[in-house]
C-alpha cells in the first residue's frame, strides 16, 4: 500500500479509496499523535471541521467528527466553507487543529482530508508520517486508549464561522469596491455563498454563477478549470471583471471586461506592484514556481522585483515564503498566497485584492494585467518513458541545450518528470506559438527515442 498523504492531504474516490473507516481512523490517529507531540498542552483539545458541498462530504464529515470526539476532542462543526476559511477559523478561534474535507478542483466522485495544525498552518510532513504510521498500527489490531464518560469530545455547530470569515476578508481590504460590477463563479463549491457575499459587502455589484451546489455538480463545467461560462457572463452583463474559484476556493482566476483570461502569474504581477506601492512586498520579492511564465519573470525584472522560483506545488511556494519572510507567492493555476492575511492560498481573498487594485487605480483589469506579456507556452506529456533518466541522458541534455540556444532570451525549455505518472513533461515557451510547438514537438521526439 502506498503513502496515504500526498502533497495536499489524503485524496481518493470517496467510498472506494477514501472510506468512512479510513476517515474515522485517521482522525483518531491525528488526535493521538498531536496529543503525544504536546500540541494540546494540558487543556481539552478543540478541532474545527469544515467541508465542501460534495455529497460524500456528508458521511465523511460524520466519520471525522466521530473519530475526533471518540478521542476526546471537542469539535466545532462549521459546515460548508472554503479551505482557507477553515484554516483561518482554526487560528482565529485558538483551536488545536482543523480538518477540511475536500478534493479541491477534482471531479465530484473524489474527496479528501486535510489537517491543519494550531494557527491554521499545514501539518509538518513528519507529523503526517506519524499519523499514517499510527493509523496503520491500530487498523491492524492494536487497540486505542479511549476516554469514557465526561472525557469524550463534545460536538456543536459553529454557525458564526461564515460571518467571522467574511468579516476577516473585508477587514484586510485596502479599499472598497464601490462602482465595480463583478461576476463571481463559485464552481458550485465551498465559495458559492461566501465569495459573492464578501464582494457584495465590499461594495461591488455582484452577478453570481456556479452558486447552486447540489452535492453533485461541484466543478462541473464551471469554476477556475472551465472559465468559458465566466467569460460569457462577463460579456453578457457588461461587468468590469469576473473571478472564478475551484471547489474548495483556494484558487482564483480572473477574466477582464473583454472576456480575456487573467491567470495566476498575471494576478501575482498586479498584486506584487500593488503591495510594493503600499510597502507590503517584503524584500521586493515574489515567489513562483519553475512553471511560472517567462513573461512574468521578465516583467518582474523590468519592475525591479525579484522572482524566486520553487518546484511545482503550492507547498513549496509556502515553504520558501515562510523560511525567507516573503509576503506574496503563488502558481499560474491561481493558487495565490498572501501570507500577511492567510496561511494558505485563498481564492476569495485573492479576487478581492485584485478587484481592490482595479477600484483604487481606476484602471481596467486588462490594463493592469498588461504589465506582463504572457509568452505562448506549450506543454507536451510524453508517456511510457523512463522518467528517472530525464536529467542524466547526454543526448537529451544536448537536445535541450540546442533548443535553448535556438530560443535565446525570449524563450525557455523545461523538462520534468511527473510526480504521479510514468511520463515526462516537456514545456517550451517562445515569442511565437508556432515556434514553441515546433521546438516542443522535436524535444518530445527526443524524449521518446532516448527514454522509451
Helix, strand, or coil (residue 35)? helix
Under 8 Å between Cβ of 223 and 105 = yes
How would you class 172 by CB atoms within 10 Å of its CB: exposed for 0-12, middle for 13-18, buried for 19 or more?
A: middle
Q: Check residue 23 and give its pLDDT.
A: 97
Binding site for Mg(2+): what residues are annotated? 104, 246, 248, 250
> Does pLDDT of 1 surpass 60?
no
List all residues 6 or more positions away from 31 whose beta carbon is below 8 Å from its beta carbon.
Answer: 45, 47, 67, 68, 71, 72, 73, 97
Separation in Å, CA 158 to CA 62, 197, 387: 15, 19, 48
pLDDT digits (tens, 9 = 90+) for 236-284: 999 999 999 999 999 999 999 999 999 999 999 999 999 999 999 999 9
Q: What is the mean pLDDT of the chain?
A: 94
User: For 410-446, b where at least 16 C-beta lie within 10 A, e where not — what string?
Assistant: ebbbbbbbeeeeebbbbbbbbbeeebbebbbebbbeb
**Residue percentage of the chain with pLDDT more than 70:** 99
| % helix, strand, coil for the chain, step of 5 | 40, 20, 35
Under 8 Å between Cβ of 11 and 53 = no
pLDDT digits (tens, 9 = 90+) for 320-370: 999 999 999 999 999 999 999 999 999 999 999 999 999 999 999 999 999
Backbone angles phi, psi at 26, to 5 degrees: -65, -35
Under 8 Å between Cβ of 353 and 271 = yes
pLDDT digits (tens, 9 = 90+) for 69-99: 999 999 999 999 999 999 999 999 999 999 9
Q: Check residue 380 and give its pLDDT.
A: 94
The set of cell numbers assigned to 216 is: 453533485
Which residue blocks in 292-393 are alpha helix, DSSP H?
A: 294-302, 314-324, 347-361, 365-369
Neighbours of 196 (CB within 10 A): 22
Based on its alpha-carbon atoms, the radius of gyration of the chain, rounded to whole angstroms, reads: 23
Q: Check residue 2 and give its pLDDT.
A: 67
Helix, strand, or coil (residue 157)? strand
Q: What is d(CA 262, CA 257) in angstroms, rounded to the nearest whole number?
A: 11
The set of cell numbers assigned to 149 is: 464518560
Asked if the domains at 10-161 and 177-369 fall in one CATH topology, the answer is yes
Strand 181-185 and strand 205-209: the pairing is: parallel
Residue 47 pLDDT class (50, 70, 90 cuts): very high
Please give the residue that has the higher pLDDT: either 78 or 313: 78
Longest dimension (CA), the chain: 73
Q: Check residue 8 and give its pLDDT.
A: 79
Q: Check residue 353 and give its pLDDT.
A: 98
Q: Check residue 283 and give its pLDDT.
A: 97
Helix, strand, or coil (residue 181)? strand
Residue 391 pLDDT class (50, 70, 90 cuts): confident
pLDDT digits (tens, 9 = 90+) for 223-242: 999 999 999 999 999 999 99
Which residue blocks in 151-220 are alpha helix, DSSP H?
A: 161-172, 194-201
Residue 420 pLDDT class (50, 70, 90 cuts): low
Backbone angles phi, psi at 338, to 5 degrees: -110, 95
pLDDT digits (tens, 9 = 90+) for 120-165: 999 988 999 999 999 999 887 778 889 999 999 999 999 999 999 9
Q: Is the domain 377-451 a CATH 3.30.310.50 member?
A: yes
Residue 196 pLDDT class (50, 70, 90 cuts): very high
Residue 36 pLDDT class (50, 70, 90 cuts): confident
Q: What is d(CA 445, CA 441) in angstroms, rounded to the nearest whole number?
A: 6
- Taking alpha carbons only, the member of 266, 222, 10, 253 closest to residue 136 is 10
CATH superfamily of 177-369: Alpha-D-Glucose-1,6-Bisphosphate, subunit A, domain 3 (3.40.120.10)
The set of cell numbers assigned to 256 is: 477582464
Instruction: Give the range with max mean pLDDT: 202-211, 305-314, 424-433.
Output: 202-211
| CB hemisphere CA count around 196 (13 angstroms) | 17
> Which residues are tagged catalytic?
104
The set of cell numbers assigned to 127 is: 507529523
Residue 313 pLDDT class (50, 70, 90 cuts): confident
Neighbours of 36 (CB within 10 A): 11
Q: Check residue 60 and give its pLDDT.
A: 98
Ordered by start, the domain boundaries in the chain are 10-161, 177-369, 377-451
Q: What is d(CA 72, CA 147) in angstroms, rounded to the nearest whole number?
A: 6
The set of cell numbers assigned to 270 is: 498586479
Backbone angles phi, psi at 81, to 5 degrees: -145, 160
- The stretch 219-224 carries a mean pLDDT of 96
- The stretch 283-305 carries a mean pLDDT of 95
Assign a CATH topology to domain 10-161: Alpha-D-Glucose-1,6-Bisphosphate; Chain A, domain 3 (3.40.120)
Q: Check residue 419 and give its pLDDT.
A: 64
Amino acid at each position: 500500500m502506498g503513502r496515504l498523504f500526498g502533497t495536499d492531504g489524503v485524496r481518493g474516490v470517496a467510498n472506494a479509496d477514501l472510506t468512512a473507516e479510513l476517515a474515522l481512523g485517521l482522525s483518531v490517529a491525528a488526535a493521538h499523535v498531536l496529543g503525544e507531540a504536546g500540541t494540546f498542552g494540558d487543556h481539552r483539545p478543540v478541532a474545527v471541521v469544515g467541508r465542501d458541498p460534495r455529497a460524500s462530504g456528508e458521511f465523511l464529515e460524520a466519520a471525522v467528527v466521530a473519530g475526533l470526539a471518540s478521542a476526546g476532542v471537542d469539535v466545532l462543526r462549521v459546515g460548508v466553507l472554503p479551505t482557507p476559511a477553515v484554516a483561518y477559523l482554526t487560528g482565529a478561534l485558538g483551536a488545536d487543529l482543523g480538518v477540511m474535507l475536500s478534493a479541491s478542483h477534482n471531479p465530484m466522485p473524489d474527496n479528501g482530508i486535510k489537517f491543519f495544525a494550531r494557527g491554521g498552518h499545514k501539518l509538518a510532513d513528519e507529523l503526517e508520517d506519524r499519523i499514517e504510521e499510527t493509523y496503520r498500527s491500530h487498523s491492524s489490531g492494536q487497540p486505542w486508549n479511549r476516554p469514557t464518560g465526561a472525557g469524550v469530545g463534545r460536538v456543536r455547530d459553529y454557525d458564526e464561522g461564515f460571518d467571522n470569515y467574511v468579516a476577516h476578508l473585508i477587514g484586510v481590504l485596502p479599499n472598497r469596491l464601490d462602482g465595480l460590477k463583478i461576476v463571481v463563479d463559485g464552481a458550485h463549491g465551498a465559495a458559492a455563498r461566501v465569495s459573492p457575499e464578501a464582494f457584495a459587502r465590499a461594495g461591488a455589484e455582484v452577478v453570481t454563477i456556479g452558486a447552486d451546489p447540489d452535492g453533485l455538480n461541484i466543478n462541473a463545467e464551471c469554476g477556475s478549470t472551465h472559465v468559458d461560462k465566466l467569460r460569457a457572463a462577463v460579456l453578457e452583463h457588461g461587468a468590469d471583471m469576473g473571478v472564478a474559484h475551484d471547489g474548495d476556493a483556494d484558487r482564483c482566476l480572473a477574466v477582464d471586461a473583454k472576456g480575456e483570461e487573467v491567470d495566476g502569474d498575471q494576478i501575482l504581477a498586479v498584486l506584487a506592484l500593488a503591495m510594493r506601492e503600499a510597502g507590503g512586498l517584503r524584500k521586493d520579492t515574489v515567489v513562483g514556481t519553475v512553471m511560472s511564465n517567462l513573461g512574468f519573470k521578465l516583467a518582474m525584472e523590468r519592475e525591479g522585483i525579484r522572482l524566486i522560483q520553487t518546484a511545482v506545488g503550492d507547498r513549496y511556494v509556502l515553504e520558501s515564503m515562510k523560511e525567507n519572510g516573503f509576503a506574496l507567492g503563488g502558481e499560474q493555476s491561481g493558487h495565490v498566497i498572501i501570507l500577511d492575511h492567510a496561511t494558505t492560498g485563498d481564492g476569495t481573498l485573492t479576487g478581492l485584492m485584485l478587484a481592490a487594485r482595479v477600484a483604487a487605480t481606476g484602471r481596467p483589469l486588462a490594463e493592469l494585467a498588461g504589465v506582463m506579456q504572457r509568452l505562448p507556452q506549450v506543454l507536451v506529456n510524453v508517456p511510457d518513458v523512463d522518467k528517472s533518466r530525464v536529467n542524466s541522458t547526454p543526448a537529451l541534455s544536448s537536445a535541450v541545450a540546442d533548443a535553448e540556444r535556438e530560443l535565446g532570451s525570449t524563450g525557455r525549455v523545461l523538462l520534468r518528470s511527473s510526480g504521479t505518472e510514468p511520463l515526462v513533461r516537456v514545456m517550451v515557451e517562445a515569442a511565437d506559438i508556432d515556434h514553441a510547438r515546433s521546438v516542443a514537438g522535436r524535444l518530445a521526439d527526443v524524449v521518446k527515442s532516448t527514454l522509451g
